């Protein structure tokens, strides 16, 4: 009896303690494919820990330990307390991610239907995803960390300072133009002052400037002002290849510390640059897609350059659009964002037309450069040599004789895209994909451009043993070989992902072109991206039809962007440029509108067409993809997913198309299928996807089946 009494006394006192100290439940995001957070109890020796959102914790999960991120603190859990495990260790004294960063990632995870834990760990640099490495320094200076709250970090400037009239008459807000050494033309000055006036608050801008109109100069002047006011700027570019030249331009003109962030950096450099960004010592961060999530304690301006570029959208795993996340980030932080392009995406132009974005235009090329003349060349029934019509060859001779440079664009690398047996018709296909193997001759390989599988080049037909194997079609490698005898005196440079694989090779080729040592430059779309070729006066696009007739509804938009981007490489100095498009479809309506009234005219036409066909930006799409080693399984899964979707309560105005096999059905030995969801109202679509996602998570399926959701898809292969 006495013992019993004692026990109940102990129980009573434990209960009394619990009621005095509020229960602390730590809500932790873990890098696992589940949409939820996980509840943990603090470790026993954690009395002195000041729990702050964004700290990394080491937690037991299943049979192993995992790194988690503290997302929130609650007084209660939906689970029985006795079943909750304790955190093993606290990895950071200070939070690694600020509240505003977690809010952004949380928003992106929800919007793109991706597990929150995996989203956060995608956003962290690799060295911080592991438990072995502690962050070497607190990422936020002590005393500046914030307790859990959802508000964005306070701007560094005092309110009074911010509201100082930004512009003195004729000048640019105290920014020393002379020091910058570059004068702005009236269009640039208008853009700079409009954006300058928006510093300190959220405002999206579309900087719609033709190639060579000086968008970068606008960025530089504004970033200089942001740095001068003690804030940081973030510039996102689509391609790693574009960072070196931009970095050079930025560092030569801007004070402070510029760091780059992209996946090709050495791990140690990436870790150091990330730290400089998060500590606030870097004043400018220049990065590719994933840099959109880097914590910046004093962010004052975001720039997304080449905002139309497809590579701003991640195509696997966490399928976010860095451009769209950037707009959301600017809104959360309360700063302006500039979306810059010579060929804005239809979505962005639509937002500008509806005045959701402030539309700034730079319609003129800087200096005396003339816009290039674009003409269509009907090559139907024309004899071609090396893929070049006689008209184009003669034009090339004229330009070469005048000492000018020529650029030829062919969007296919390798030697020949098809190897066929002349005896029996056998064609070299990838054994794992519905893709033909491309023949490369230097080095010799038979290569699947989709899965990367490489096979030896066959000497005899594997089917009938005939030695008469023939190459059909032409890639850049073959074009280079065939051009030389046609233009024996010209030096030719090929720029594609094969010829520039060696470190420093792209730079070497580009500077040889710049020095005038090369007369003909040929290459793939690498040529269209940002590199300047001021001595080029003639651009030939050899096979436009291949781009124009790609399989999805965005193909004409991409073709128009490509034409304008490639055309933008020509005639940038005093020499006027000419662009010749070889096509078998000169009557194509969108091509005609592009030639008649430029990109603007094309956009008007293309938007009308999208509205008629109820496609983005007039509706919003999501693609549910599934794949398995058996062709039937993804179709069955998607049929069941569709049935469950239609049974949900809010499916009004939600249209579900499919399931259908993907355009490229078999890839790396797996069969792909998809289901397309369409809705005119973005919020409604989001509500539907949230409900549906929950149902799909619970749907029973074989281990072999993979599925993923792609919100705002831009590729449908």
Contacts with Zn ion, 627-666, as mask; x by CB under 5 A: ----------------------------------------
Of 264 and 424, CB closest to Zn ion: 424
DSSP letter string, 131-194: SS---SS-SS-TT----S--SPPPPSS-HHHHTS-S--TTS-TT--HHHHT-PPPHHHHHHHHH
Contacts with Zn ion, 438-477, as mask; x by CB under 5 A: ----------x-xx-x-------x-xx-x-----------
The number of helices, as runs of H, and strands, as runs of E, in the chain is 19, 29
Of 442 and 463, CB closest to Zn ion: 463
Helix, strand, or coil (residue 629)? coil
Of 390 and 464, CB closest to Zn ion: 464
* Minimum CB distance to Zn ion, residue 463 (Å): 5
* Minimum CB distance to Zn ion, residue 40 (Å): 44
Contact with Zn ion (CB under 5 A) among 15, 424, 472, 695: 424
DSSP letter string, 231-264: -EEEEE-S-GGGHHHHHHHHHHH--S-EEEE-TT
Of 450 and 569, CB closest to Zn ion: 450
Pairing of strands 56-61, 64-74: antiparallel
Cα dihedral across residues 281, 283, 289, 295: positive or negative: positive
Interacting residues with Zn ion between 249 and 278 (CB under 5 A): none
Q: Which residues contact 400 (CB under 8 A, 6 or more apart)?
A: 406, 487, 489, 490, 519, 520
Pairing of strands 418-421, 89-90: unpaired
Of 196 and 450, CB closest to Zn ion: 450
Exposure string of 137-173, with b = 16+ CB inside 10 Å and e = fewer, is: ebbbeeeebbeeeeebbebebeeeeeeeebeeeeebb
* Minimum CB distance to Zn ion, residue 709 (Å): 25
Q: Evaluate whether 421 touches 467 at the Cβ level (below 8 Å).
A: no
Give strand pairing partners of 282: none
| H helices present in 312-364, as ranges | 322-333, 346-353
Residue 205 CA to residue 348 CA, distance in Å, equals: 10
Give the containing element (helix H, strand E) for 661: strand 655-667
* Minimum CB distance to Zn ion, residue 433 (Å): 3
Residue 296 CA to residue 97 CA, distance in Å, equals: 9
Q: Evaluate whether 625 touches 672 at the Cβ level (below 8 Å).
A: yes
How many CA atoms, within 13 angstroms, populate the side-chain half-sphere of residue 22? Answer: 8
Of 410 and 421, CB closest to Zn ion: 421
What DSSP designation does 310 have? G
Of 452 and 488, CB closest to Zn ion: 452
* Minimum CB distance to Zn ion, residue 662 (Å): 14
Of 10 and 464, CB closest to Zn ion: 464
* Minimum CB distance to Zn ion, residue 452 (Å): 7
Residue 570 CA to residue 578 CA, distance in Å, equals: 7
* Minimum CB distance to Zn ion, residue 314 (Å): 21
Of 7 and 466, CB closest to Zn ion: 466
Beta strands in 449-541 (DSSP E): 454-455, 469-472, 492-495, 520-523, 536-541
Q: Evaluate whether 422 touches 512 at the Cβ level (below 8 Å).
A: no
User: Does 437 sit near Zn ion (CB under 5 A)?
Assistant: no
Of 104 and 421, CB closest to Zn ion: 421
Contact with Zn ion (CB under 5 A) among 89, 194, 377, 423: 423
Of 464 and 646, CB closest to Zn ion: 464
Of 448 and 580, CB closest to Zn ion: 448
CA dihedral 324, 326, 329, 333 (to 10 degrees): -140
Of 156 and 664, CB closest to Zn ion: 664
Of 352 and 461, CB closest to Zn ion: 461
Per rule CB under 5 A, count of chain residues that contact Zn ion? 15
Both tokens of 376, joined, read 């269509």
Among 151-159, 433-441, 495-503, 643-651, the segment contacting Zn ion (CB under 5 A): 433-441
Find, among 616, 608, 612, 606, the residue nearest to 685 by Cα. 616
* Minimum CB distance to Zn ion, residue 668 (Å): 6
CA 101 to chain centre: 19
Q: Evaluate whether 374 touches 595 at the Cβ level (below 8 Å).
A: yes
Of 535 and 670, CB closest to Zn ion: 670
C-alpha distance across the termini of the chain, in Å: 75
* Minimum CB distance to Zn ion, residue 325 (Å): 31
Here the contacts of 481-486 (C-beta below 8 Å, separation 24 or greater) are: 481/415, 482/385, 482/386, 482/387, 483/386, 483/408, 483/520, 483/522, 486/385, 486/386, 486/388, 486/393
Among 229-237, 431-439, 493-501, 607-615, the segment contacting Zn ion (CB under 5 A): 431-439
Q: Classify residue 647 by burial, with Cβ atoms within 10 Å: 0-12, 13-18, 19+.
A: exposed
Q: Evaluate whether 493 touches 522 at the Cβ level (below 8 Å).
A: yes
Of 403 and 425, CB closest to Zn ion: 425
* Minimum CB distance to Zn ion, residue 637 (Å): 23
Q: Evaluate whether 306 touches 695 at the Cβ level (below 8 Å).
A: no
Q: Which residues contact 339 (CB under 8 A, 6 or more apart)?
A: 204, 205, 206, 207, 304, 307, 323, 326, 327, 348, 357
- The neighbour count for residue 502, using CB atoms within 10 Å, is 8
Residue 442 CA to residue 457 CA, distance in Å, equals: 12
* Minimum CB distance to Zn ion, residue 422 (Å): 8
Of 154 and 464, CB closest to Zn ion: 464
User: Does 426 sit near Zn ion (CB under 5 A)?
Assistant: yes
Contact with Zn ion (CB under 5 A) among 430, 580, 594, 654: 430
Contacts with Zn ion, 403-422, as mask; x by CB under 5 A: ------------------x-
Residue 298 CA to residue 300 CA, distance in Å, equals: 6
Contacts with Zn ion, 365-404, as mask; x by CB under 5 A: ----------------------------------------
User: Does 432 sit near Zn ion (CB under 5 A)?
Assistant: yes
Among 57-65, 104-112, 425-433, 689-697, the segment contacting Zn ion (CB under 5 A): 425-433
* Minimum CB distance to Zn ion, residue 420 (Å): 9
Residue numbers at the binding site for Zn ion (CB under 5 A): 421, 423-424, 426, 430, 432-433, 448, 450-451, 453, 461, 463-464, 466
């Amino acid at each position: 009896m006495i013992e019993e009494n004692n026990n109940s006394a102990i129980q009573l006192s434990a209960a009394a303690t619990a009621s005095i100290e509020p229960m602390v439940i730590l809500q932790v995001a873990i890098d696992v494919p589940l949409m939820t957070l996980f509840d943990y109890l603090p470790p026993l020796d954690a009395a002195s820990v000041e729990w702050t959102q964004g700290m990394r914790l080491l937690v037991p999960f299943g049979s192993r330990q995992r790194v988690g991120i503290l997302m929130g603190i609650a007084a209660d859990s939906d689970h029985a307390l006795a079943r909750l495990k304790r955190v093993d260790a606290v990895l950071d004294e200070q939070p690694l991610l600020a509240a505003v960063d977690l809010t952004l990632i949380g928003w992106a995870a929800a919007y793109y239907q991706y597990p929150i834990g995996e989203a956060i760990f995608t956003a962290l640099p690799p060295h911080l995803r592991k438990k072995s490495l502690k962050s070497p320094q607190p990422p936020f200076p002590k005393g500046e960390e914030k307790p859990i709250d959802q508000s964005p970090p306070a701007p560094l400037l005092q309110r009074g300072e911010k509201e100082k009239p930004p512009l003195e008459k004729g000048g640019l807000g105290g920014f020393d133009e002379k020091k910058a050494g570059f004068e702005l033309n009236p269009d640039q000055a208008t853009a700079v002052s409009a954006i300058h006036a928006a510093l300190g608050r959220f405002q999206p801008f579309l900087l719609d400037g033709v190639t060579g109109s000086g968008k970068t100069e606008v960025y530089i002047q504004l970033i200089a002002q942001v740095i001068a006011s003690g804030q940081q700027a973030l510039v996102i570019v689509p391609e790693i290849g574009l960072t070196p030249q931009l970095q050079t331009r930025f560092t030569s003109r801007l004070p402070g510390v510029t760091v780059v962030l992209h996946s090709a950096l050495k791990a140690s450099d990436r870790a150091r640059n990330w730290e400089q960004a998060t500590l606030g010592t870097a004043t400018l961060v220049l990065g590719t897609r994933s840099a959109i999530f880097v914590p910046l304690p004093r962010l004052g301006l975001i720039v997304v350059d080449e905002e139309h570029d497809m590579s701003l959208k991640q195509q696997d795993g966490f399928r976010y659009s860095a451009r769209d996340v950037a707009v959301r980030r600017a809104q959360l932080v309360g700063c302006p964002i500039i979306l810059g392009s010579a060929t804005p995406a239809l979505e962005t132009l639509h937002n500008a037309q509806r005045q959701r974005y402030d539309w700034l235009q730079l319609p003129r090329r800087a200096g005396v450069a003339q816009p290039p003349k674009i003409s269509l060349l009907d090559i139907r029934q024309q004899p071609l040599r090396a893929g070049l019509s006689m008209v184009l060859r003669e034009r090339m001779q004229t330009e070469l004789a005048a000492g000018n440079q020529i650029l030829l664009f062919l969007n296919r690398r390798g030697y020949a895209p098809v190897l066929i047996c002349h005896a029996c018709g056998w064609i070299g296909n990838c054994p794992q994909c519905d893709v033909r193997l491309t023949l490369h001759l230097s080095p010799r390989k038979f290569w699947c451009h989709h899965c990367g599988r490489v096979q030896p080049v066959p000497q005899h037909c594997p089917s009938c043993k005939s030695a008469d194997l023939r190459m059909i079609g032409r890639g850049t490698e073959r074009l280079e070989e065939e051009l030389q005898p046609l233009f024996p005196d010209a030096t030719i440079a090929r720029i594609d992902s094969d010829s520039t694989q060696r470190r420093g090779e792209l730079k070497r080729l580009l500077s040889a072109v710049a020095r005038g040592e090369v007369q003909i430059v040929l290459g793939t779309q690498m040529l269209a991206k940002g590199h300047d070729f001021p001595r080029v006066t003639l651009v030939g696009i050899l096979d436009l039809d291949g781009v124009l007739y790609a399989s999805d509804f965005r193909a004409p938009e991409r073709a128009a962007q490509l034409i304008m981007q490639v055309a933008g490489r020509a005639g940038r100095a005093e020499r006027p440029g000419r662009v010749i498009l070889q096509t078998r479809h000169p009557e194509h309506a969108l091509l005609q509108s592009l030639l008649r009234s430029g990109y603007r005219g094309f956009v008007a036409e293309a938007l009308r067409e999208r509205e008629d066909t109820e496609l983005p930006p007039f509706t919003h799409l999501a693609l549910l993809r599934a794949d398995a080693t058996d062709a039937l399984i993804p179709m069955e899964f998607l049929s069941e997913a569709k049935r469950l979707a239609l049974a949900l309560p809010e499916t009004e105005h939600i249209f579900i198309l499919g399931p259908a096999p993907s355009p490229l059905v078999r890839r790396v030995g797996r069969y792909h299928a998809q289901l397309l969801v369409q809705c005119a109202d973005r919020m409604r679509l989001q509500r539907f996807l949230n409900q549906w996602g929950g149902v799909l998570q619970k749907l029973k399926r074989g281990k072999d089946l993979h599925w993923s959701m792609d919100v705002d898809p831009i590729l449908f292969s």
